[in-house]
Amino acid sequence: DAKTTQPNSMESNEEEPVHLPCNHSTISGTDYIHWYRQLPSQGPEYVIHGLTSNVNNRMASLAIAEDRKSSTLILHRATLRDAAVYYCIYYGGSQGNLIFGKGTKLSVKP
Amino acid sequence: DSGVTQTPKHLITATGQRVTLRCSPRSGDLSVYWYQQSLDQGLQFLIQYYNGEERAKGNILERFSAQQFPDLHSELNLSSLELGDSALYFCASSVTDRYPGNTIYFGEGSWLTVV
């Protein structure tokens, strides 16, 4: 299984930036880093993914360390709707499925 | 709305029974995945199909089976149900099966309660 390490939980205030860290020290050169999130009572939702360089989309930014052994998901302005469990996953071409860890439960305070 | 449709949304059944969960993938997606989520085990990958063929198998019990049909919909069959099988079962789909940058889209899940 592809192993990642994330904090169990984090707290943020509404409208402040949130940096969610993830360690993936055993990642290989062809593995993509994916972030998904799961809101309460919903299925996981794709957030962002990247390989080497930093990535931005309408939901978040992904900052990947130069050695690729860690990454950070950045929510620029947290909203109450961003309260969810955030999963950091990596996988390569040998398998297409995602192996989820425990994730980080993000709480957002008004 | 991810475009992945799962039925039924909720199901209550007795121990020893058999149920079938159905999944319609997003239009154009060839790969289907099944996951189980329970409170103590988190999200567990069960099985993956691509264009009708089994691609990968995870922690799927022998009492469980799945298939993907020619129209690409998939069914997960759970038999000889036990109390511990109570969980949320997710179906997901993606365009391809192995591309590492592949994005996987999840349905809203089927809640199974075994009593």
pLDDT at A95 over 70: no
Name the B residues in 74-103 with CB < 8 Å from any A CB: 90, 92, 94, 96-103
pLDDT in tens, B78-113: 999 999 999 999 999 999 877 667 888 999 999 999
- Measured CA angle at B56 (ends B82, B53), to 5 deg: 100
Q: How confident is the model at residue B115 (pLDDT cuts 50, 70, 90)?
A: very high
Q: In this complex, is the C-beta atom of A29 within 8 Å of any C-beta atom belonging to chain B?
A: no
Minimum-distance CB partner of B100 among A44, A92, A99: A92
Give the angle A6-B42-A58 at the CA atoms, nearest 5°. Answer: 55
CA distance A66 to A59: 23
Give the position of tokens 């809203």.
B108
Q: What DSSP element (H or E) covers B19? A: strand B19-24
| Tokens 């930093």 sit on residue | A54
Report the gap between the CA of A53 and the closest CA in chain B (Å). 14
- With cut-offs at 50, 70 and 90, classify the pLDDT of residue A94: low
Mean pLDDT of B12-30: 97
Q: Does any CB of chain B come closer than 8 Å to the CB of residue A79? A: no
User: Does residue A47 contact residue A98 with C-beta atoms inside 8 Å?
Assistant: no
Q: What is the pLDDT of residue A73?
A: 97
Given a contact cutoff of 8 angstroms between Cβ atoms, the answer to whether B79 and B58 are in contact is no
- Residue A28: its pLDDT value, please? 82
Structure tokens at B3: 């475009």
- In this predicted model, what pLDDT tens digit does every residue of B44-57 receive, in sequence order? 999 999 999 999 88
A105 interfaces chain B, CB cutoff of 8 Å: no
Q: Compare CB distances from A96 to B4, B35, B97 and report the shortest one's residue.
A: B97
* Residue range A54-77, pLDDT digits in tens: 999 999 999 999 999 999 999 999
Residue A25 burial by CB count (10 A; 0-12/13-18/19+): exposed, middle or buried? Answer: exposed
| CA-based end-to-end distance of chain A | 37
Dump pLDDT digits (tens) for A4-45.
899 999 999 999 999 999 998 888 888 889 999 999 889 999
Contact list in B for residue A97 (CB cut-off 8 A) is 33, 45, 48, 55-56, 58, 104
